Amino acid sequence: SPTTTRRIFKRNVFQRHLSSSQQSDHYWMPFTDNVTFKQRPKLLHRANGVHYYLEDDTRILDGMSGLWCVNAGHGQPKINEAIKSQLDKLDFAPSFNTSHPLPFQFADKLLKLLPEGAFKEVFFTMCGSTAVDTALKIALAYHKACGNDEKVRFIGRERGYHGVGFGGIGVGGIPLNRKAFTGNMLPFLDHIVHTHSIPDMAFSRGLPKWGVHLAEDLERVIQLHGAASIAAVVIEPVAGSTGVLVPPVGYLERIREICTKHDIMLVFDEVITGFGRVGSSFATVEFGVTPDIITCAKGLTNGVVPAGAVICHPRIFQSIQEAAHRSPGTQIEFFHGYTYSGHPLAMAAGLATLEVYEEQKVFENVKALSPFFEELLHSKIKGLPYVVDIRNCGFMAAVEVEPIEGWLTKRFIYGVMMMM
């Protein structure tokens, strides 16, 4: 029964208790069943390379790179030393009407990872969620600066994940993430269909050959609301949190064409796909499709210090700046920012992270090893009981198993028990 299986699962997996000195009911854990976790908690104590270690030194493979963020592995000495050195020099500096050198240096380095001339300005935030909400505000500010005040609607995609801000939840398309806040979404939203269909693309290697026609759903939504009302389309090049939904061949190119045709900004959420995950610096580079705005975070600092960034096409800041300075005198171009925008420790970590990626050839290694990873997935896992699909792109992959009616995670729990 489900109850018996849960008991077995807890006994085998959650074996370690907090000591009496560690027990606490005060920490509210995010995206967690707090009651179940605190009954049988398992705490990570240190990390190195691609592994975590428990208090008793049990080693755990970090197969998700933390939360898609430790792209170069844990404990990189260059990153750690950069943070320590910066802490002794400048621990904090405000970014409102003043700054310090590192954000300017980091912005320059980031732009070198992208097609020359395609992007110009970088706005630093605190994480992926704040990067997405910032991108939405930038899109609105751009259209207003261009005299298109009526362009206020955002188009997301079903099964998309764009963080936990109200803007990100709004353009996101994962039902459980939206359900609790349905009554307080942004007012002008819509979504196009997702690109996943097991009957048509199961066990595709890399980009599926079926599905480019799904991009035409954007035309349907545009016809429904009118292009003059739509500010931006926000999508992940490869949807990560919803189960690695790889774009069909030609799909992103068609989305780009439609947005250009109707003067709608295209935002690529590369919080997960950025910094080598799909084989190049960004999915923008890997797929050869250039959006108007890129959001990134996670691998931006190798997950060591929280940070996010919004990378913009040259015309965006230029238009906003020119509109703000049509009147004489000092003008704030964009009424938005965070206390921790361009934080010295985050910028130091980010600069060192980019050096690690380059020196250790992280992006090149992903591209070289991706075919091996793909072959391993499809040769060793395809054909196993209950496996209904395998999806992969670069070092992103998902194995989908047939659910059991009445308890969607039951198959997964049995799988974990069998491996112990």
In order along its 420 residues, the chain shows pLDDT tens digits of 444 444 444 444 444 445 434 557 789 999 999 998 888 888 999 999 999 999 999 999 999 999 999 999 999 999 999 999 999 999 999 999 999 999 999 999 999 999 999 999 999 999 999 999 999 999 999 999 999 999 999 999 999 999 999 999 999 999 888 888 877 888 999 999 999 999 999 999 999 999 999 999 999 999 999 999 999 999 999 999 999 999 999 999 999 999 999 999 999 999 999 999 999 999 999 999 999 999 999 999 999 999 999 999 999 999 999 999 987 877 899 999 999 999 999 999 999 999 999 999 999 999 999 999 999 999 999 999 999 999 999 999 999 999 888 766 655 544 443 333
**Four-residue CA torsion sign, 217, 218, 222, 224:** positive
What per-residue confidence (pLDDT) applies to 20?
38
| Residue 281 to residue 277: CA distance in whole angstroms | 8
Please name which of 40, 39, 60 lies closest in space to residue 50, comparing C-alpha atoms.
Answer: 60
- 266 DSSP β-pair partners: 233
**What tens digit of pLDDT does each residue of 174-189 get?**
988 888 887 788 899 9
What per-residue confidence (pLDDT) applies to 418?
38
How far, CA to CA in Å, does 175 sit from each of 178, 179, 180, 239? 5, 6, 9, 15
Residue 9 token pair: 């699962």
DSSP string for 70-115: -TT-B--HHHHHHHHHHHHH-S----SS---HHHHHHHHHHHTTS-
What per-residue confidence (pLDDT) applies to 2?
47
Q: Are 277 and 303 in contact (CB under 8 A)?
A: no
Distance of CA 318 to the CA centre of its chain: 27
Other Cβ atoms within 10 Å of 327 Cβ, number: 7
Long-range (24+ apart) CB contacts under 8 A made by 372-381 are 373/397, 374/205, 374/206, 378/203, 378/205
- List all residues 6 or more positions away from 8 whose beta carbon is below 8 Å from its beta carbon: 417
Residue 55 token pair: 């208090």
What per-residue confidence (pLDDT) applies to 331?
87
Q: Are strands 387-393 and 230-235 parallel, antiparallel or unpaired?
A: unpaired
Radius of gyration of the chain (CA): 22
**What tens digit of pLDDT does each residue of 132-167 get?**
999 999 999 999 999 999 999 999 999 999 999 999
In the numeric block, the tokens 């693309």 are attached to 201
Q: Are 309 and 79 in contact (CB under 8 A)?
A: no
Please name which of 62, 63, 78 lies closest in space to residue 353, comparing C-alpha atoms.
Answer: 78
